[in-house]
Structure 1
Amino acid sequence: MMKLPTNILLPFLLILTCYNHHVSHMMIHAQTQSADSCNSNLNLGNEEITFDTNSLNCIPVWSSEDFILRYSQAGPNLWSFVLSAPNTNSYIAMGFSPNGRMVGSSAIVGWMATDGSANMKRYLLGGQTPAQVLPDQGDLQIVGNTSSLFSSSSRLYMAFQLVTNQPSQRLLYAVGDSSNPLPQAPSFRLTQHRTETATRLNYASGQGTRIKAPYSNLKRAHGILNMLGWGILIPIGVLVARYLKHLDPLWFYAHSGIQSLGFIFGLSGVIAGFVLDNRLDAKVGKHKGLGITILVYGCLQILALLARPSIDAKTRKYWNWYHYSVGRIMIVTAIVNIFYGIHLAKAGSSWNAGYGVFLGIYVITVLVLEIRMCKKK
């Protein structure tokens, strides 16, 4: 091969080095521009935000969704806000709540339409359904010529000023679901959010803390009691009755004790559910109906135990059919309602995975014991 002189290669090497350095600089610059943090200044140009942003306090208010809030008191009865969040092709929302709950609060919602136009509206969160979320209502007094929403470096910026002596410290944030349509004229109906959170902000210190959902401990107790009672103990009691009958009469006392304990836990969970329904007025009719059905099945099993005929009675065969059938239907219904309840509560994949692991072990145990029983026969 012919070897080129160094004085010919040197200019090309210099050009290549400068090009690589320029590309790397552009990539670093692009990555920097696509992010926002409280360590960076809000340099978006005077044409985007009409009020002064130099003295805004900054706090990350929702780390999992990368929400950043900047705020300051601009006058005796005037407050400035700039909310920054990733542009997920859906809406972002910030609400001011009197009690930390979504229902009854007033919110400001912003989104970029498919044609690129910016939209920003007030909403009154009058209920939990989209029809109860009312546009252009609520108690927020926004200075009209200060409101703006725009996209910059893959983020949405929602800026506004409120006329108020002291904004509510209980703030709500929500992200829309990109699979749902954006609000459109004339109704501007807001679809169900993908996720939300509630925080308490001390405006003087800039410290923010997350507000636990109302009755969160009662919700957790409702789920645990029902899962433990109807979904774990009672199925285990069925295993005892079917595969341990050679340990007579121990199997009967173990079966009765486990089922009774499961019924007590399940009944306590249903009662907790009624209390939640009364306090939260949640729209969970199907879940509630299934829970009542399971409770009825459990009561029927208790009554069947009290009316159990002797083992040599002619009606014992029919009683067995009834007892086995109602018990199995109750367990299947309970399993369905447990997963449905996890879905309604948005409890996360850990609850599904935990109960799914138990069901997997349970099914494997049943298969092994059933095979052993068949071999003995």
Structure 2
Amino acid sequence: MLHLISPLIPSLFHYILHVSSLYINPNSLFSSHNSKFRTCSQHNSAVLSPISMEKFWNLTLLLSVLTSITVYSTAERCSSYQFSSNRAFESCNELPVLDSFLHYNYDASSGIMELAYRRTKVTTGRWVAWAVNPTSTGMVGSQAIVAYPLPDGTVRVYTSPIRSYQTTMQEGDLSFNVSGLSATYQDNEIVIFASLQLPGGTINTVWQDGTVSGNTPQPHSTSGDNVRSISTINLISGVSGAVGGGGSKLRKRNIHGVLNGVSWGIMMPMGAIIARYMRVFEAAEPAWFYLHAFCQASAYIIGVAGWATGLQLGAESAGIRYDTHRAIGITLFSLATLQAFALFLRPRPEHKQRKYWNIYHHTLGYGIIVLGVVNVFKGLGILSPTRQWRDSYIGIVVALAILALLLEAFTWYLVLKRRRLQQHSSKSSSRPDAGPRPFP
């Protein structure tokens, strides 16, 4: 049925837009001379004409039909799916990520759950798995059923208890009885069938996918949808929901990303721009210095908070490692702390050692900015947020870069202009500037 209805949906959308452009238009609905909007002077009120009402109800009917088709199409993806083996399942859950569906029957008296885990868009060289975790809500401790297509067209399916995050899905017995284990692979879709002996109530479920090297499943991705593929299912009511712990961890990851993106990725570059370009204006003395100090100090404090949340996330996610991101984060914190303490050792402007301190301060500062921006992009790759977040940050970085280039050109214009004025001045005792003034 779905394949017959689906081609009609674009045409219906086009027709609705056409009808809307004709009938939901102030000039066509509310015209006093075309009988589409009649004014009754006796009652001082306005009513739609029968013609307009007919068009309005036609449009409403079209929208209702389209809504019904959309809802029906979504439902057919799950509850109305027809298995090639003519098996039937009373309950079906469309899992929120990884293009997965869980069909099942549950007999409360015997505790038997007959299931079909269906994973679409599976290519050769990839494995899929569905698991129940009897003891917690995470990956470790889950009792998994794994399947992947073989080069000869058959499917290997087996059980695997997960004891660590670095598992390669070794075959083994589960903590509960499993029978009727089989799997099919057709049209890039794997379906796992099994019967499990489970207690009633709510169960914790996990589902995953990854690559296969040779005949060995490799660890799955630890970002994006692969860290969101956990839920609970009430076997009696069929109601599924997000796992509280997973949602809490995701919130912490988002907080970690926002704190570090704002501090290292935005405020630090802004502080450097303030210091380099505001100080060329004599009227900005000494306001530029206080603005620069406030911006960098705030960025450091927020960055330390973000760094601390990263450490906490690492402690709560044993076995999940992002070595490059972690190493850059530790380096950033260390360099920024050195930069902060170096302010207490800053010589006076006239001191002979001041130029060496300036070199140290500038080099470290620019290094922190580069590492910060790089690590923000590393973090975005790990979190895998919607595209608008990455695009927004790219837009901010590009805008700051363009601003810096424009200010750099303007700064050199001022410097060269002042140099020319000084060359024609009788005050030869003053030394002309040789370029943009350095950081303090």
TM-score, with normalisation over the residues of structure 2?
0.69
Q: 1:322-361 maps to which residues of 2 (within 5 A)?
A: 322-361=360-399
Closer, same or farther in 2 for the Cα pair 1:151/1:368, shift >3 Å?
Answer: same
Cα offset, 1:216, TM superposition: 1.8
Cα offset, 1:229, TM superposition: 1.3
Structure 1 equivalent of residue 238 of structure 2: 206
RMSD: 2.6
CA distance in 1, matches of 2:142, 2:162: 6
Contact 2:127 2:217 survives alignment (8 Å): no
Contact 2:183 2:193 survives alignment (8 Å): yes
Closer, same or farther in 2 for the Cα pair 1:215/1:29, shift >3 Å?
Answer: closer
Match status 1:312 vs 2:350: yes
Structure 2 equivalent of residue 234 of structure 1: 268
> Identity of counterpart residues, as a percentage?
23
Q: Which ranges of structure 2 fall in alignment gaps of 5 or more residues?
A: 8-74, 417-440
What amino acid maps onto 1:91 in structure 2? W
Structure 2 equivalent of residue 72 of structure 1: 105
CA distance in 2, matches of 1:350, 1:30: 29
Q: 1:275 aligns with which of 312, 324, 332?
A: 312
What amino acid maps onto 1:163 in structure 2? Q
Closer, same or farther in 2 for the Cα pair 1:41/1:276, shift >3 Å?
Answer: closer
Structure 2 equivalent of residue 15 of structure 1: none
Q: 1:55-134 maps to which residues of 2 (within 5 A)?
A: 56-62=90-96, 64-74=97-107, 76-89=110-123, 90-97=126-133, 98-131=135-168, 133-134=169-170
What amino acid maps onto 2:235 in structure 1? Y
Q: Which ranges of structure 1 fall in alignment gaps of 5 or more residues?
A: 1-24, 47-52
CA distance in 1, matches of 2:139, 2:84: 31
CA distance in 1, matches of 2:77, 2:254: 34
CA distance in 1, matches of 2:331, 2:89: 59
**CA shift digits 1:131-180 (9 cap, x unpaired):** 4x43224424211xx1111134553221100123337621112233xxx3
Cα offset, 1:286, TM superposition: 2.7
Contact 2:154 2:185 survives alignment (8 Å): no
Cα offset, 1:202, TM superposition: 1.7
Stretch of structure 1 that moved more, 224-233 or 208-217? 208-217
> Over alpha carbons, which structure has the higher Rg?
2
What amino acid maps onto 2:178 in structure 1? I
Contact 2:202 2:234 survives alignment (8 Å): no
Structure 2 equivalent of residue 170 of structure 1: 204
Contact 1:87 1:154 survives alignment (8 Å): yes
Closer, same or farther in 2 for the Cα pair 1:141/1:193, shift >3 Å?
Answer: farther
- Partner of 2:309, secondary structure, is helix
Structure 1 equivalent of residue 172 of structure 2: 136
Cα offset, 1:77, TM superposition: 3.1
Closer, same or farther in 2 for the Cα pair 1:373/1:193, shift >3 Å?
Answer: closer
Cα offset, 1:230, TM superposition: 1.4
For this pair of structures, how many residues does the alignment match?
A: 333
Contact 2:200 2:235 survives alignment (8 Å): no
CA distance in 2, matches of 1:272, 1:191: 25
- Partner of 1:147, secondary structure, is strand
Match status 1:37 vs 2:77: yes
CA distance in 1, matches of 2:214, 2:354: 63
Contact 1:130 1:192 survives alignment (8 Å): no
Contact 1:298 1:330 survives alignment (8 Å): yes
TM-score, with normalisation over the residues of structure 1?
0.80
Closer, same or farther in 2 for the Cα pair 1:292/1:155, shift >3 Å?
Answer: closer
Closer, same or farther in 2 for the Cα pair 1:242/1:137, shift >3 Å?
Answer: farther
Cα offset, 1:371, TM superposition: 1.0
